[in-house]
Amino acid sequence: MLRVEGLRVNYGRVPAVQGISLEVNEGEIVGLVGPNGAGKTTTLATLIGLIQPAGGSITFEGKPLRGQPPERIARMGIGLVPEGRQIFSTLSVGENLQLGATARRDRQAVRADTAAVLARFPALGRYYQSPAGRLSGGEQQQLAIARALLGRPRLLLLDEPSLGLAPLVIDLVFDTLANLRTEGTTILLVEQNAARTVELADRSYVLRTGQVVLAGSREEMLARTDFESTYLGL
């Protein structure tokens, strides 16, 4: 579904991503893990069109993504749950959700989806009219995911959803992702929490200083004993 080849991204003159290739197939959860500064977030930001790469190719369902503006990429069916949630704190929860469905025309279906999403995350229903800035960190994360889901994305990108969340909430998030996979959503999950990610994902890539240093299926990754050394570069 998503194919990235030889991606190179620079911040000014500093290379942040130096030739990454990865693949996400339909119905999978693919994990992208690695320490801080490995280039994970940069990769996601490039996928969604927020950064222009210096080299390499990105195709989604056969169509090239490079050079497309974010709004067009979103309308192609890619949803983003960004690092730090990035909910619109001055807008209400309802308005945040409404924005998730910006690209959609099918009002009926949107209403149905909204009801479904509120059922999945009851906290959002409670605060529907309140400014989103009032929600707790965990609730904001739920809102961010819900908002992305309302776009009916075929590929969902998540950037460090567990960051700053209490363990129980992290459980909720990861359970949600597993459920989404069962329902047929394809997911690319960027995380620092390597252990849980590798366990959840069907396949994972390990990034370090802008390059893929390790890749494999769940079984392969869990079997590796040199994980720490590769991951941390020890």
Partner 1 sequence: MTILIQNAIDAISLGSLYALFALGVALVFGIMGLINFAHGELIMAGGYALIYLGHPAWPILVLAMLAIVVALAIAIERVAFRPVRGANPITLLVTSFALSYLLQNLAQLIFGSIPRVTNLSTSLSESFTIGSVSVPKLDVVTVGVTILLLVALTLFLNRTRLGVQMRAAAENFWMARALGVRANTVIATAFALSGVLAGTAAILLVAQTAVVTPTMGSSPVLVAFIATILGGMGSLRGAVLGGFVLGIITVALQAYLPLELRYYRDAFAYGAVIAMLLLRPQGLIVAKSVVTRI
Partner 2 sequence: MTARPVAQLGRRILIFWWPVIALAAIVVAASSLSSTDGPFLQDTAVTDLVYLLFVLGLYVFAGNSGVFSFGHIAFAAIGAYAAGIFAIPVATKAQLFSSMPSALVHLHTSSLVATLIGGGVAAFAGLLTSIPLMRLNGLAASLATFALLIIVHVVAQNLNQVTNGQSAMTGVPTTTTKTEMIVWCLLGIAVAYLFQQSTWGLRLRASREDAVAARASGISVYFERRAAWILSTFYMGIGGALYGQFLGTFSPDAFYLDITFLIIAMLVIGGTTSLAGAVIGSVFVSVASELLRRLELGPHIGPLHIPGRPGVQAVGLALIMLLTLLLRPGGIAGGREIHWPLNRLLPRPVVSTAPEVEVGRPARTDAAAE
Contacting positions for partner 1 (CB under 8 A): 48-50, 69-71, 73-75, 80, 82, 86, 88-91, 95, 98-100, 102-103, 147, 151
Contact 83, 108 (CB under 8 A): no
Question: CB neighbours of 131 closer than 8 A, spacing ≥ 6?
Answer: 89, 90, 91, 92
Contact 190, 160 (CB under 8 A): yes
Note whether 41 binds partner 2 by CB under 8 A: yes
Q: Which does 100 bind (CB under 5 to 8 A by kind): partner 2, partner 1, none?
A: partner 1
Report the residue count for the chain.
234
Q: Closest CB to partner 1 among 24 and 132?
A: 132
Residue 29's nearest CA partner among 141, 222, 216, 181 is: 181
Least distance between partner 1 and beta carbon 87 (Å)? 8
Query: Exactly one of 8, 10, 57, 75 binds partner 2 (CB under 8 A); which one?
Result: 10
Residue 229 host element (H or E): helix 227-232
Q: Which does 51 bind (CB under 5 to 8 A by kind): partner 1, partner 2, none?
A: partner 2
Least distance between partner 2 and beta carbon 83 (Å)? 4
Q: Which does 153 bind (CB under 5 to 8 A by kind): partner 1, partner 2, none?
A: none
Least distance between partner 2 and beta carbon 199 (Å)? 25
Query: Exactly one of 18, 42, 96, 176 binds partner 2 (CB under 8 A); which one?
Result: 42
CA separation, residue 58 to residues 49, 73, 103 (Å): 11, 12, 22
Distance CA 219, CA 203 (A): 9
Q: Which does 69 bind (CB under 5 to 8 A by kind): partner 1, partner 2, none?
A: partner 1
Least distance between partner 1 and beta carbon 23 (Å)? 22
Distance CA 24, CA 2 (A): 5
CA angle (18 as vertex; 43, 198 as ends), nearest 5: 50
Least distance between partner 2 and beta carbon 40 (Å)? 10
Q: Closest CB to partner 2 among 52 and 136?
A: 52
Per-residue DSSP letter, 171: H
Interacting residues with partner 2 (CB under 8 A): 10-12, 41-42, 45, 50-52, 82-84, 86, 159
